């Protein structure tokens, strides 16, 4: 796992479904996916996620859009996360 992100909020119901593997996918995407490209995955809880880095900010931070959907219910958010330099990402 390249990264772990804590506190990624995509709506109350969907947020509860974020497990450690999903958090690792978020961190991995923030580490590797270019701005404007979208990565998608389906977690073990059957939530379909998409993450799109929106822009790079100073200080190893990125703004990103995260969406989650399951069973016709979905949520999305736009957030900023910063790398701690050891592969971990923290939402600001």
Q: Tens digit of pLDDT for each residue in 2-55?
A: 344 444 444 555 555 678 888 888 989 999 999 999 999 998 888 899 999 999
What is the per-residue pLDDT for 7? 43
> Which sequence spans correspond to the domains of the chain?
5-91
Which stretch of DSSP H or E encloses residue 31?
Answer: helix 20-32
pLDDT digits (tens, 9 = 90+) for 61-85: 999 999 988 888 888 889 899 998 7
Q: Which of 14, 21, 41, 17 is nearest to 5 (CA)?
A: 21
């Amino acid at each position: 796992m390249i990264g772990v992100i804590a506190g990624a909020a995509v709506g109350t119901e969907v947020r509860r479904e974020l497990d450690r593997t999903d958090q690792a996918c978020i961190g991995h995407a923030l580490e590797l996916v270019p701005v404007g490209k979208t990565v998608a995955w389906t977690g073990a809880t059957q939530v379909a996620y998409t993450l799109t880095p929106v822009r790079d900010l100073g200080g190893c931070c990125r703004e990103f859009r995260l969406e989650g959907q399951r069973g016709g219910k979905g949520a999305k958010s736009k957030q900023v996360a910063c790398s701690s330099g050891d592969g971990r990402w923290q939402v600001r």
